Amino acid sequence: MVLQAEPILRAVRSLGNRTSKLVVLSAKGKQFTQKMAYDWSKKYRHFVFISGRYEGIDERVRKILRAEEISIGPYITTDGDVAAMALVSSLVRLIPDVINWSSLEDESFLRKAISREAKAGELEYPHYTRPEILKWRNKKYAVPKVLLSGDHEKIAKWRQKQRKIKA
């Protein structure tokens, strides 16, 4: 099933002349990244995500609208709905006051997006909650002692050491 161009073009035209980021979701598109989310969140206030079903949409839609073709990964889903939700979720969290900004500052993907000190392939350190010792199926799993120490310098060093570097 390929969605026809004209109904999509009419729908986009009905939105008016706002400055919007027009995106066609497609497995053959450029892969979406956190940096793109960050850049788009700063540049655009409105987004239009056009997603197809099965085989996608008529190629002329992308050409006529000059829409950017985006993929969420090197795999194929039944439709673009999940991809649209992924983009919305990654963009909405960057709107001021949706999430406390200080809770985002240490995220590896955001640090890379805003060109801070994160290295390529570097991921988050492990996170823990209560209780300090979790008992599960006759085994005990403890929170690392350094995290319970209250020594912020040692905790920061532990977190840095725990970050994973992908090859």
CATH topology for 2-92 is Alpha/beta knot (3.40.1280)
User: Residue 44: which of 98, 85, 9, 94 has the closest Cα?
Assistant: 94
Taking 70 as the pLDDT cut, the residues of the chain under it are 101-122, 165-167
User: Residue 44: which of 25, 23, 58 has the closest Cα?
Assistant: 23
Residue 167 pLDDT: 41
25 - beta bridge partners? 51, 70
Pairing of the two strands 139-142 and 133-136: antiparallel
Distance CA 101, CA 117 (A): 18
Residue 113 pLDDT: 57
Q: Residue 125, exposed/middle/buried by CB under 10 A (0-12, 13-18, 19+)?
A: middle
User: Distance between alpha carbon 14 and the CA centroid of its chain, in Å?
Assistant: 28
Q: Where are the domains of the chain?
A: 2-92, 119-167
- Specify the CATH number for 119-167; select among 1.10.1270.20, 3.40.50.300, 3.30.200.20, 1.10.760.10: 1.10.1270.20
Distance CA 74, CA 120 (A): 19
**CATH topology of 2-92 equal to that of 119-167?**
no
Whether the Cβ atoms of residue 27 and residue 71 lie closer than 8 Å to each other:
yes
Whether the Cβ atoms of residue 128 and residue 144 lie closer than 8 Å to each other:
yes
Residue 96 pLDDT: 80
